[in-house]
Each structure stands twice: as C-alpha cells, then as structure tokens.
Amino acid sequence: MTDESNNGLPPEIFQELLKKYKESLPERMNGFNHAIQLLKKNPSKENLTQVRFFVHKFAGNAGTYGYQTVTDLCKSWDAKLSEMMNQFPNCKLDESLFNELDALFKKIQEQFSHGK
C-alpha cells in the first residue's frame, strides 16, 4: 500500500530511503559548509558553483523527505546563485553575501535537526 506522504512508495521502502537520507545529512552539511568557507577565502566562479551545487541538491531532494522548508529556502537561493554565476565576475561576492550564506546554512541545519 502506498500513500502521498511516501511519494507513492510502499511505507517500508520510503522509511528505508528516509533513514539513508538522514544518515547522509552530516556529510552533506559538512560539504556545504566547506564550500561556503572556500568561497569566503577565494571568491571564484568555481567556488560559487560548488555552493550552488549543494543548494541545488537540497532544493531538489529535501522536500521529498519531509523537509519542505529546506526545499523552499534553497529554491530561491538556487535561482539567486545561478544568476550570480551568469553575471560573474560582475556580481558581488562580499561580506554581505557570506553572512547571508552563513544564515542560510544555519536555517537549513536547524530544519534538519528539528524536522522529521
């Protein structure tokens, strides 16, 4: 039997996928934080691309596992970072952006800590 909350999957399969996703979160968050720190040290297009990679992945998969707030946050950031990549090097990679990314990281971390 399947239902909407399991994305059409049998409950036991969805629960196993959810468990694996949750287990992968510390590694994913460490990678995301590392990408942000690299961007701060070296504001390059390559490092901006890495930050966007993590944001894009969270935007695409977090909601599937019940973290809709993460998906919503990351979708808007995905568009913003994509636009910055298109405008590079004529975009602002400055302290203001870095502070916003740190705040985004904390919000995502909080959602994953208090979510399902």
Q: Residues 24-70: pLDDT tens digits?
A: 999 999 999 999 999 999 999 999 999 999 999 999 999 999 999 99
For residues 38 and 46, give the distance between their C-alpha atoms in angstroms, rounded to a whole number: 10
Residues ≥6 apart with Cβ < 8 Å to 33 = 105
CA dihedral 46, 47, 48, 52 (to 10 degrees): 100
- Both tokens of 9, joined, read 């999957």
CATH number of 47's domain: 1.20.120.160
pTM for this structure?
A: 0.90
How many independent structural domains does the chain possess? 1
95-114 and 45-61 helices, crossing angle to 10°: 30
Structural domain range at position 75: 4-114
Q: Residue 8: what are its φ and ψ, rounded to 5°?
A: 80, 5
For residues 55 and 51, give the distance between their C-alpha atoms in angstroms, rounded to a whole number: 6
Q: Residue 23 above 70 pLDDT?
A: yes
For residues 13 and 103, give the distance between their C-alpha atoms in angstroms, rounded to a whole number: 34
Using pLDDT thresholds of 50, 70 and 90, give the confidence band for residue 3: very low
